[in-house]
A and B are shown apart, each in its own frame.
Chain A
Amino acid sequence: MKAWLALEDGAFFEGRGFGAEGEVTGEVVFNTSLTGYQEILTDPSYKGQIVTMTYPHIGNCGINAQDEESRQPWVEGFVIKELSPVVSNFRSEMSLDAYMKKHNKIGIQGIDTRKLVRVLRDQGAQKGVLSTVDGDRKRLVSKAKESPGLVGMDLVKEVTCREPYELGQDLSEGYSWGLPQIRTRYKIAAIDSGIKFNILRKLKQHGLDTTVYPASTSAAEILKGNPSGVFLSNGPGDPASVPYMVETVRELIGKVPIFGICFGHQILGQALGGVTSKLKFGHRGGNHPVMDLRTEKIEITSQNHGFVVDIDSLQGGEVELTHINLNDKTLEGLRHKKHPLFSVQYHPENSPGPHDSDYLFERFYRLIEEPERV
């Protein structure tokens, strides 16, 4: 089965299809992680995106229930160099190809993915079309141009939960690492803009029992549950397109300890008066160095974001910049000097990626224990 990928700037690739058949549009991005394709596929933050893996051999370990980051894959399409002919891992339950078919996701393999990455690096993230049904270059390129893209798109509503739920439902056991903490447990609320399972697992492991709320839930509704803290999750799309979430968070500030990750960080940044903008091609991978400005220690972080809180938009106020990306010096973390809140742009819950930033969950727990010790 042939498949084609076209970008809005005219770039065109012909390869072989895998997974489902059909045609999708989305923003074409790349991820440099060597491992963790399953977690990437199922990360709701990839809603609206066609994801390219830079590592050529994908599918080697198949798919297993423990490594799911949500109930389904969210990527619009998946672009790889070569699909593994076999699955080799003691935990595997299904091949990647079968999984993609099951969830009606289109994949393309056999293209020069490095060339694609070079195009994205030079031109910036592009709108694109992935098709197994139409091989006409001109037509595909114009479809790519006409596709909506991500800017201004509220994709949160596509991925957020419909009803509040308690942690535990829908959550597979996971391939746990680190020891569960035996100590006083607190109840917290999480605003779900596309929350990953491993965030829930990490919260639980650190002694936080979570109720997950739909993204449109009002501050009052959340506070009604009397949570000890509020967690703001990762999520897809343009953070500037969800003013209702910014409003909710603004109302929560000062009333309850807050911890935000990725999209949650961008929402919090806006609630604190900052502005978000789009990076040229984003940060997606498991190897980005981030420095904790207080300790000057470096974390190798898991990242997945195309937007960023402008570092200059928060200067000088009551917000302290706590983390910085050493590659491009963009903002990676902040805290408030008076209110009990902090957030990071990257993914301390990893999955995929290194575990270096696990301490942030501990920091959230401590903040809940002693909110006055900001």
Chain B
Amino acid sequence: MPKRTDIKKILIIGSGPIIIGQGCEFDYSGTQACKALREEGYEVVLINSNPATIMTDPDTASRTYIEPLLLPYLEHVIAKEKPDACLPTMGGQTGLNLTVEAYEKGIFEKYGVELIGAKYEAIKKAEDRGKFHAAMTKIGLDLPRGEFAYSVEEATQIAERLSYPVVVRPSFTLGGSGSGICYNREELEKTALMGLEYSIVHEVLIEESILGWKEYELEVMRDVKDNFVVICSIENLDAMGVHTGDSITVAPAQTLTDKEYQMMRDAARKVISEIGVETGGSNIQFAVNPKTGRMVVIEMNPRVSRSSALASKATGFPIAKFAAKLAVGYTLDEISNDITKYTPASFEPSIDYCVVKIPRFAFEKFEGVDSKLSTQMKSVGEAMSIGRTFKEALQKGLRSLEIRRFGLGGDGRDKVCGHILKTREEYRRFFEEASKDKEWIRRIGTAIATPREDRIFHLKYAYQVGMTTEEIHRMSYVDPWFLEQIRQIVDLENELLKTSIQKVSPELLRQAKEYGFSDVQLAFFWGEKEGAVRALREKQGVEAVFKLVDTCAGEFKAYTPYYYSTYEEEDEAIPGDREKVMILGGGPNRIGQGIEFDYCCVHAAFALKELGFETIMVNSNPETVSTDYDTSDKLFFEPLTLEDVLSIYRKQKPIGVIIQLGGQTPLNLAAALEANGVKILGTPVKAVDVAEDRDKFKKLLQKINLRQPNNGISTNIEEACEIAKKITYPVVIRPSYVLGGRAMEIVYDEEQLLKYMTHAVDASDEHPVLIDKFLENAIEIDVDLISDGETSVVGAVMEHIEEAGIHSGDSASVIPPYSISKDMTEEIVTRTKDIARALGVIGLMNVQYAIHRGELYCLEVNPRGSRTVPFVSKTIGVPLAKLAAKVMVGKKLPELGFDKEVYVPYVAVKESVFPFVKFPGVDIILSPEMRSTGEVMGIDQDFPRAFYKSQDAASAHIPNDGKVFISVKNGDKDNVVPVAKKLAEMGYPIVATRGTAEVLRKNGIEAELVLKIAEGRPNVGDLIRNREIKLVVNTPSGKGSVLDEAKIRSLAVSFNIPCITTLSAARAATLGLEAVRGKGLNVAAIQDYHALLANNCVNPTTH
């Protein structure tokens, strides 16, 4: 059927900020959808609050609204744009939920918007557990037994009927929020209560536990003619009980016979038909009893998902792109397979390799959190790897994770139940002894029985202490097939340990590489350096070859150069004649390194393509646009390690490598790459060293006469105490060479310092700690700059809302600055250019400053693209990363048309989004340690409105009425008065604890007194639970989950009550409220804002 011509304009709803359970896979799918629909001639309107995405680039959609994903904004956009149709399946659960809400409020009907891709009824049927249950029963599919509960009592009654353990699943949540396995009544009561709160319909399903069953997923597509294809089957290594997002997953399914697989396929077909997804992709999850083969349906997502992004990358089949085309009426046979060109999309990909996805966690960021993996997703990102065998893919995947591991152990980083094994001697001795030690065997047994992020390593240790496959399977539920693969790795490792670099046979060396062992591991086994192993391999001709991902297992010729490395005979990545540039991506998403860097890499690929270069992308993150096969000319889906990057470099021979756009991951490789003869493009590698080496950095700042907080550097506790005493407390302390403020802390006295020093060493063992004077109550400034080596232009000066000391990635920041003088802004611009010149920056640079008592201090310089590059680019309408890539290959800024600063006549606010709701009990206060997972942008004509929008977008909607609870630390008590006054004037009743209440009353503000949690009942906790309090303003006097105030904060998070933890944010919030109350909301497309700039509507910032 040809495409529909009755619709012209299509609205796509994005997924908003990156949060746990909703990563950048929706940027990938949304971008594909926008491109696909525009290719077909449709006008595409996009709403998405996340500025760090490719989909919100002004070129991606026709009209781009960077606005909060909330009903009022959506309605404004619809009213303004009058789209004919809305495609709701590209924006994850957020997009679907907003669609359901809008549909139920009659918005689509009111404006005559048709839902395409998935109708309301289909969404409801898939998402509403009751309806889903009924639908599955109707088509004769088996489900885990279960019933719905609407209260805790009901839940316990049902559990008793089913018998423990039971699983609690709240209806309508994302990433499995609030779900869990309960082994007893007490656990159930707690989990059910939480689940009922999380569910927007206050409904939880209490289900028989199918813990330990095998878990599978099918990614399927269906078109309007009921043609149906399975794109990919996925089998989880972690059995049922661990959220699929937190599981190691493998494609294709490994332990199903054709009969069982086809039954699953039949079931999937019935499911998608019954749910009524007429066009597009869905994800269907199954569990299979390993003993009987009983198969049950777990759930279905009537939209593209994290798994469909994975399936797309795993097979080369672009699900989102095709889903968009199906939604406008095409059938699968009418779409051609991009990869083979001559065959249609109506087929099922066959693959001739094995794909492994491994989740990336960030538990170290959340003190006191339960790191046990369960049915609620906790991972923040993932790496995917491809190998010809599972063993190879698994080891490659582990070294892609950016957890400083180089395979499945044996890399000098092993930690057996916390016991560190650094050298080969320690390693050998330990396993020799532990295998005779019952206590160690018991401890390892416990470690494999409890799913945690490092369990995969412990499965291997279990073999190394002599456990059998059967024992390990019994304790871990991991399928024997996977376990035996690990056993093979262990067996080969034992052989490798017995030999040496001098004696190893070429056959054994080759086999080790086929098993995915990295040079680092081999060097560890032989007590050698990585370089020596590489030299040996080169001598013996044991080198990686590159194979194509082609959707068809080699049956047809493939035209898309999408490669992975392996150790076999034939190499398919034959380099062509064009000049090539290699771009290193950022690896898996994690806190501190998110989608922003992928955005930069994608722009580099686009920019260099424009200049006629052949672009080579190297990355390991399946969620991203950078790993889409049509982003660059060649895609290498590979780990970002020295070995893997060098293999590609030496085969492809690019003119150079871009390392400054992928965040810290490629930057950390820079020196080693250069030492191995790799040409690094842009800013010289030594600039990185100058910026990160304290002494060199100090000298640089002295040379250009720029102040920095007093500081020192220390490798031991005594020295640290001395330095701190000299520069006076409070001090900021952190390990060197880290991203995202890992283990960074503000320390107020020696006691705290000693405590820190004992655990900081672990955070970064090779490097010393840095100690800086902490500037209290200073304004923090962030600056992004681009330079071609001659001309430097500041992209934007951003002022943070939160004071210095809170990680820049966690602060809200504002363009243009809203409180500093014009002279100061000018000074900042000048100073930043001085730094760039002194460092020899070619490309991007980010500088952080503090303004303390009117003086400018330089805090940090990063000679690379920063997290704020997309935010700045979208605000000023200039694609900085694109320009950066161009200057790195020799273009000059004046010829690129960007030679002076852009001052915007509007205001943009970037706000951070936190995963606290996934980590109950964790204190939510902001600190130098970054903990946000994503960001949103609010843009409007003035600061208050832009800020208000940013809060709305970050799901911290400031309520229009209701009680506000205020409790601030002593230092803030006077300053909170004007804020409280304004809130009271706007009619918010104020509730406060004794100290704050006294101050407020003294200043004539009426405040209801409420007890602290420790003071008795009813207390503030009860008011939060009863949802009497609608907003919490609480500035912390200390950190730690034991504090009364911390309990209040985490309670507020659990009950989804916005909690403001800094006075500056509270001030901004009241301003925002005032502004919006006065005039109401307004929305505008980013293209309209940029048009103001094109029309020379220049309005330098004044205040």
Contacts and interface: CB of A to CB of B under 8 A. Distances in A.
A121 B258 contact: no
A352 B552 CA distance: 17
A326 B344 contact: yes
Contact of A86 (B226, B253, B257, B484): B484
B352 A56 contact: yes
Contacts of A177: 259, 262-263, 266
Contacts of B289: 90
Contact of B350 (A82, A121, A285, A289): A285
Contact of B227 (A36, A297, A355): A297
A351 interface: yes
A60 B333 CA distance: 33
B561 to A, nearest CB: 15
Contact of B265 (A33, A81, A354): A354
B527 interface: no
B723 to A, nearest CB: 56
Contacts of B226: 297
A298 B553 CA distance: 21
A142 to B, nearest CB: 22
A291 B554 CA distance: 23
B570 A112 contact: yes
B1063 to A, nearest CB: 59
A296 B343 CA distance: 17
B291 interface: yes
A289 B255 contact: no
Interface string A94-125: 00000000000000000011110110010000
Interface string B190-230: 00000000000000000000000000000000000111110
Interface stretch (A61-69, A160-168, A185-193): A61-69
Nearest to B390: A57
B349 interface: yes
Greatest chain B CB density within 10 A among A57, A351, A356 is at A57
B293 interface: yes
A257 B253 CA distance: 41
Greatest chain B CB density within 10 A among A175, A285, A289 is at A289
A270 interface: no
Contacts of B351: 34, 55
Contacts of A291: 333
A287 B488 CA distance: 32
A353 B743 CA distance: 53
A345 interface: no
B277 interface: no
A36 B324 CA distance: 33
B349 A287 contact: yes
A55 B352 contact: yes
Given A35-B256, A66-B259, A67-B258, A57 B389 contact: yes
B258 A351 contact: yes
Interface residues of A, number: 54
A32 interface: yes
A355 B254 contact: no
B258 A33 contact: yes
Contacts, number: 180
A88 interface: yes
B238 to A, nearest CB: 16
A145 B99 CA distance: 65
A32 B485 contact: no
Nearest to A300: B348
A288 interface: yes
Contact of B258 (A35, A57, A85, A114): A35
B569 interface: yes
A34 B290 CA distance: 20
B430 to A, nearest CB: 26
A54 interface: yes
A298 B227 contact: yes
Contacts of B787: none
Nearest to B261: A35
Contact of B555 (A32, A91, A112, A352): A32
B1047 to A, nearest CB: 47
Contact of B554 (A38, A57, A121): A121
Interface in A220-256: none
Interface in B238-286: 252-263, 265-266
A89 interface: yes
Given A177-B266, A326-B333, A114 B570 contact: yes
A209 interface: no
B389 A89 contact: no
Interface string B946-982: 0000000000000000000000000000000000000
Nearest to A287: B348
Contact of B252 (A34, A39, A289): A34
A56 B555 contact: no
Interface size classification for chain B:
35 or more
Interface string B560-583: 000000001110100000000000
Contacts of A55: 252, 350-352, 553
B183 interface: no
A327 interface: yes
Given A82-B389, A90-B292, A57 B265 contact: no
Nearest to A325: B343
Nearest to A61: B257
A114 B225 contact: no
B388 interface: yes
B481 interface: yes
B333 A32 contact: no
Interface in B97-119: none
A88 B350 contact: no
Interface in A331-364: 350-356
A38 B484 contact: no
Interface in B534-566: 547, 552-557
Contacts of B257: 35-36, 38, 61, 64, 67, 89, 91, 175
A81 B388 contact: yes
Contacts of A113: 352
Contact of A90 (B233, B290, B570, B572): B290
B253 to A, nearest CB: 8
B553 to A, nearest CB: 4
Nearest to A64: B257
B403 to A, nearest CB: 26
Contacts of A61: 255-257
A39 B258 CA distance: 8
A286 interface: yes
B599 interface: no
B353 interface: yes
Nearest to B387: A56
A43 to B, nearest CB: 12
A300 B347 contact: yes
A300 B343 contact: no
Contacts of A57: 254, 354, 389-390
B744 interface: no
A356 B265 CA distance: 10
A86 B480 contact: yes
Interface in B31-54: none
B326 to A, nearest CB: 13
21 contacts: A32-B352, A34-B233, A34-B252, A54-B352, A55-B351, A60-B254, A67-B259, A82-B389, A86-B484, A90-B290, A117-B554, A118-B554, A286-B348, A289-B344, A291-B333, A298-B225, A298-B227, A300-B229, A327-B342, A350-B262, A356-B228
Interface of A: 30, 32-36, 38-39, 54-57, 60-61, 64, 66-67, 81-82, 84-86, 88-91, 112-115, 117-118, 121, 175, 177, 285-289, 291, 296-298, 300, 326-327, 350-356
Given A54-B352, A288-B347, 18 more contacts: A30-B554, A32-B553, A32-B555, A35-B256, A35-B262, A56-B389, A81-B389, A89-B260, A90-B289, A114-B388, A121-B555, A177-B263, A287-B350, A291-B333, A300-B348, A326-B344, A351-B258, A355-B266
Of all A-B residue pairs in the complex, the 6 with the closest CB atoms, nearest first, are A36-B258, A352-B258, A54-B553, A86-B484, A115-B570, A117-B554
